[in-house]
Amino acid sequence: QVQLVESGGGLVQPGGSLRLSCAASGSISSINAMGWYRQAPGKQREPVARITSGGTINYADSVKGRFTISRDNAKNTVYLQMNSLKPENTAVYYCRVGIDTTHYWGQGTQDTVSS
């Protein structure tokens, strides 16, 4: 059994920062790509950032230069540092992790950017 636990979301003012974490635990042989998605109200879930096991990183164009994804393989954890946040970044953020031959989703964390 594998579990992903997200933390770090919340309410922040425009221009502020948040750091999300997603820790995987359970029966794990290998972790492949790790990433973050988000779903804003009334919109489809979309990819935000992804990091492979080899360290290759991709970002959505809208977050380049403001968001940073990283991973700690010893802790089976992926992070998303979000800076210069904008109201349009308000969404539920989900981590997605490839573990062995399956992809798993985190429970989602609500991040609200508002003054």
Q: What is the pLDDT of residue 112?
A: 97
Q: What is the pLDDT of residue 53?
A: 95
Closest to 70 in 3D by CA, of 24, 30, 19: 19
Provide the mean pLDDT of the chain.
97
Q: What is the pLDDT of residue 47?
A: 98
55, two tokens: 């360290």
In this prediction, residues 66-82 reach a mean pLDDT of: 97
Q: Write the DSSP assignment of 55-97 as a string of letters.
A: --EEE-GGGTTTEEEEEEGGGTEEEEEE-S--GGG-EEEEEEE
Q: Is the Cβ–Cβ distance between 2 and 24 less than 8 Å?
A: yes
Q: What is the pLDDT of residue 14?
A: 98
In this prediction, residues 74-96 reach a mean pLDDT of: 97
Q: What is the pLDDT of residue 81?
A: 98
Q: What is the pLDDT of residue 68?
A: 98
Q: What is the pLDDT of residue 11?
A: 97
Q: Alpha-carbon distance 86 to 102, whole Å? A: 33
Q: Is the Cβ–Cβ distance between 58 and 50 less than 8 Å?
A: yes
Q: What is the pLDDT of residue 84?
A: 98
Q: What is the pLDDT of residue 71?
A: 97
